[in-house]
Amino acid sequence: MSILVRPESLAEATSLLAARDYTILSGGTDVFPALVDRPPPAAMLDVSHLPEIRGISRRDGAIRIGGATTWSEIIAAPLPRAFDALKAAARELGSVQIQNRGTIAGNLCNASPAADGVPPLLALDAEVELVSSCGTRRLALADFILGNRHTARAPDEILSAILVPEPHACACSAFLKLGARRYLVISIVMVAVVVDCAPDHTICDARIAVGSASVVATRLPALEMRLRGQRIDANLARSISAEELAPLAPIDDVRATAGYRLDASRELIARALTQACEAHSHG
């Protein structure tokens, strides 16, 4: 028989984790589907109601999103335009019912290569906050997700928050996802960009992350650097070189070939950059 424990505080939750192994349960939208063909965990720790890890706030020059904050809450929150890509990704996360229950920490800790929330957060330079009975530590999101279903979270830690540096007021973003159908689909490729433009519409800064084209969603630093000082034009997709896409390592599977994913990545990057720059020009 599986044990379900609901601690009353984050301190109690971390104390329990220090004493024995638990499967952490928040929204349950990843945990429960995985139980279809296997027995339930021996013990589950439900942290979904803990006030310390819910909600969105601003402090110390960062926007803090509690780990147990749901995708629907993120969609409804009054966030800067640089978060539009994250909101767009949130709307792609399954059905509205899933968005109402699924949490941002659960999406990151599940560490699927096709996790929709990861590319926008990478493009926002997000960090994760991990809490245990021994204290708190912070990691860049790029250092937290290590591989398919593999993260740097220790067994006694809870992902308590995602921390995003306060973006420039003019920064805009975009998220595009390619799948076999419009809704309730696993991504073939997805792209998130955050762009800051000068008054003459040249790019001052661009951050680009691609998901579902590698084991872990990946930034493209060479392309980001090359775009600074440039304007978006109709030839952008063709100008993206193989070297600039080199951090990607797509595979062939039932959804697409590796070559198709690379071509799709190039096109989606160009479209997302164009969309974000247009949003910037419309102020």
pLDDT at site 219? 97
Contact in structure between 43 and 23 (CB atoms under 8 Å): yes
pLDDT at site 204? 92
Question: Amino acid identity, residue 229?
Answer: G
pLDDT at site 184? 53
pLDDT at site 190? 94
Is CATH 3.30.1450.10 the classification given to domain 172-281? no
The Cα 116–Cα 92 span in angstroms is 7
Phi, psi of 70 (to 5 degrees): -85, 165
Name residue, tokens 């973006």.
167
Sign of the CA dihedral with 226 first, then 231, 232, and 233 last: negative
Fold of 3-165: 3.30.465
Q: What is the pTM of this model?
A: 0.94
Contact in structure between 73 and 103 (CB atoms under 8 Å): no
Local confidence pLDDT in tens for the 283 residues of the chain = 678 999 999 999 999 999 999 999 988 777 766 667 778 888 999 999 999 999 999 989 999 999 999 999 999 999 999 999 999 999 988 788 888 989 999 999 988 888 899 999 999 999 999 999 999 999 999 999 999 989 999 999 999 999 999 998 889 999 999 875 555 567 889 999 999 988 777 899 999 999 999 999 999 999 999 999 998 887 887 899 999 999 999 888 878 899 999 999 999 999 999 999 888 766 6
pLDDT at site 106? 92
Q: For the chain, what is the HEC assignment? A: CCEEECCCCHHHHHHHHHHCCCEEECCCCCCCHHHCCCCCCCEEEECCCCHHHCCEEEECCEEEEECCCEHHHHHHCCCCHHHHHHHHHHHHCCCHHHHHHCEHHHHHHHCCCCCCCHHHHHHCCCEEEEEECCEEEEEEHHHHEEECCEECCCCCCEEEEEEEECCCCCCEEEEEEECCCCCCCCCCEEEEEEEEECCCCCEEEEEEEEECCCCCCEECHHHHHHHCCCCCCCCHHHHCCCCCCCCCCCCCCCCCCHHHHHHHHHHHHHHHHHHHHHHHHCC
Kindly state the tokens that stand for 93.
């996360």
Contacts of 234 by beta carbon, 8 Å cutoff, 6+ apart: none
pLDDT at site 201? 77
The Cα 102–Cα 92 span in angstroms is 12
| Domain positions in the chain | 3-165, 172-281
Q: Which residues on adjacent β-strands are paired with residue 249?
A: none
